[in-house]
Amino acid sequence: MTHNELLERVSDYISSECDCESCNFINGPYKALRAVVELHKPDKEGLCAICVMHTEVGPMAQPYPCRTIQVIEKELA
């Protein structure tokens, strides 16, 4: 699934954009999940913009979808 498709899927769980205390309580976890997905976006080279693997030769960017995105996709399936 593309990054935009995943963002859309997570956004579908948010019941409304109401800012009342009750809606914020219900939507809070989904808004937090959407923020995580927004951070873990692919860059122009197809690498996760935020994840770095530590290898023997030094830090190296992870390919997209990174492990974080893979886990989110698996749990939403």
Q: Is the pTM of the predicted complex or chain greater than 0.95?
A: no
Angle at the Cα of 74 from the Cα atoms of 28 and 19, rounded to 5 degrees: 15
**Number of domains forming the structure of the chain:** 1
Q: Around Cβ 68, how many Cβ atoms within 10 Å?
A: 16
What residue numbers bound the domain in which 70 lies?
3-76
Q: What residues contact 57, with CB distance under 8 A and at least 6 apart?
A: none
pLDDT in tens, the chain (77 residues): 999 999 999 999 888 777 788 888 889 999 999 999 999 999 999 999 899 877 788 788 899 999 999 999 999 98
pLDDT value at position 70? 96
C-alpha to C-alpha distances, 22 to 9, 10, 14, 34, 46, nearest whole angstrom? 22, 19, 13, 19, 39
